A and B are shown apart, each in its own frame.
Chain A
Amino acid sequence: MSFISYLVNGISLGSVYAIIALGYTMVYGIAKMLNFAHGDVIMVGAYVVMTAIASGGLPPAAAVLLAVVFCTILGVVIESVAYRPLLNAASSLAVLITAIGVSYLLQNVALLVFGANTKSFSSVVPVPALVLAGGSLTISGETIVTIVSCIVIMAGLTLFIKKTKAGQAMLAVSEDKGAAQLMGINVNGTIALTFAIGSALAAVAGVLLCSAYPSLNPYTGAMPGIKAFVAAVFGGIGSIPGALIGGILLGVIEIFGKAYISSQMADAIVFGVLIIVLIVKPAGILGKNIQEKV
Chain B
Amino acid sequence: MKKMSKTTRSNLITYLMVIVIFAVVQIMVSTGHVSSLLQGLLVPLCAYVILAVSLNLTVGILGELSLGHAGFMCVGAFTSAFFSKCAVEAIPAAGVRYFLALLIGAAAAGICGILIGIPVLRLKGDYLAIVTLAFGEIIKNIVNILFIGRDDKGFHFSTKDSMSLGLEEGGKVIVNGPQGITGTPKDSTFVVGVILILVTLFVVLNLMHSRSGRAIMAIRDNRIAAESVGINITKYKLMAFSISAALAGVAGVIYAHNLATLTAQPKNFGYNMSIMILVFVVLGGIGNMRGSIIAAIILTLLPELLRGLSDYRMLIYAVVLIVMMLFNWSPKAIEWREKYSARFRRKNGKSAKEAA
Contact = CB atoms under 8 A, between A and B. Distances in A.
A268 B329 CA distance: 35
A86 B315 contact: no
A85 B330 contact: yes
Interface stretch (A98-106, A140-148, A200-208, A246-254): A98-106
Contacts of A279: 119
A267 B133 CA distance: 12
A93 interface: yes
B278 A267 contact: no
Nearest first, the 4 closest Cβ-Cβ pairs linking A and B are A101-B321, A94-B329, A105-B318, A85-B330
B134 A274 contact: yes
B241 to A, nearest CB: 14
A276 to B, nearest CB: 8
A275 B59 contact: no
Interface residues of B, number: 47
B133 A101 contact: no
A74 interface: no
B187 interface: no
Contact of B224 (A98, A104, A108, A294): A294
A91 B271 CA distance: 24
Contact of A100 (B127, B278, B311, B319): B278
A282 interface: yes
B321 A34 contact: no
Q: Is the interface of B mostly helix, strand, loop or mixed?
A: helix
Contact of A271 (B138, B159, B228): B138
A226 interface: yes
Nearest to A279: B119
Interface in A246-294: 262, 264-265, 267-268, 271, 274-275, 278-279, 282, 292, 294
Given A108-B318, A226-B130, A271-B134, A278 B329 contact: no
Contacts of B330: 85-86, 89, 94
B314 A91 contact: no
Interface in A62-111: 82, 85-86, 88-98, 100-102, 104-105, 107-109, 111
Contact of A101 (B145, B322, B329): B322
B278 A97 contact: yes
Nearest to A275: B119
A89 B320 CA distance: 18
B142 interface: yes
Interface in B302-351: 311-312, 314-315, 317-322, 325-326, 328-333
A206 to B, nearest CB: 20
Interface string B135-174: 1011001100100000000000001000000000000000
A112 interface: yes
Interface string A197-227: 0000000000000000000000000110010
B273 interface: no
A89 B278 contact: no
B185 interface: no
Given A34-B130, A229-B130, A268 B65 contact: no
Given A108-B315, A279-B119, A268 B133 contact: no
Nearest to A97: B325
14 contacts: A85-B333, A86-B330, A89-B329, A89-B330, A101-B325, A104-B317, A111-B314, A264-B145, A264-B159, A267-B134, A267-B138, A271-B131, A271-B138, A275-B120
Given A95-B325, A102-B318, 9 more contacts: A34-B130, A85-B326, A89-B330, A100-B67, A101-B322, A102-B322, A226-B130, A226-B134, A292-B224
A190 B83 CA distance: 56
Contact of B131 (A102, A265, A275): A275
B300 to A, nearest CB: 18
Contact of B322 (A98, A268, A271): A98
B193 to A, nearest CB: 28
Contacts of A91: 63, 329
Contacts of A292: 224
B123 interface: yes
A294 B228 CA distance: 10
A109 B312 CA distance: 9
Contact of B321 (A92, A97, A223, A265): A97
Nearest to B286: A93
Nearest to A36: B129
Nearest to B225: A294
Interface centre among A85, A96, A100, A111 (most CB of B within 10 A): A100
